[in-house]
Amino acid sequence: MLVSTDEGKFTSENFTDVGKFQASYSVLKNDVGEKYAILFFPYFQDVSFAESELNVFLSTLYQIYFIMLVVAIVLAYFISRYVTRSIETIRLKIGQAGLLKKNEKIYLSNATKEMIV
């Protein structure tokens, strides 16, 4: 049974080996008004397959985001250790400095251009 709802939109009830389902058809038109495609949207009453696929997709998505979070934390840890290494050297040298003695110059290997003044 095919029923026309609006201009270019049709609905129908179908019976197949999968089961009973309703379908919606929409006609796509370009800017001039010429028809160039028909969209087919089936609506199944038993949505258990779609729900199981959605659950699998979401669990995979959660796993990917968890792995990305762990990688980001590890990467941030190593980058912060690299950046603060020269600052730690400066802190130790300042702690050894005194007002009444001759202080030695602080030499940094692999210093960034902000540290070299």
Kindly list the domain boundaries of the chain, sorted by start residue.
2-46
Q: How far apart are CA 52 and CA 73, in angstroms?
A: 32
- Quote the tokens at residue 6: 């609006």
8 A C-beta contact, residue 8 and residue 29: yes
Residue 60: predicted pLDDT: 98
Q: How far apart are CA 23 and CA 16, in angstroms?
A: 12
Q: How far apart are CA 110 and CA 86, in angstroms?
A: 8
Is the model's pTM score more than 0.75? Answer: no
Best CA proximity match to 28, nearest among 47, 54, 8: 8
Per-residue pLDDT of the chain (117 residues; tens, 9 = 90+): 555 555 667 777 777 776 777 888 888 888 887 888 888 888 777 777 778 889 999 999 999 999 999 999 999 999 988 888 878 877 887 777 776 677 677 676 766 666 665
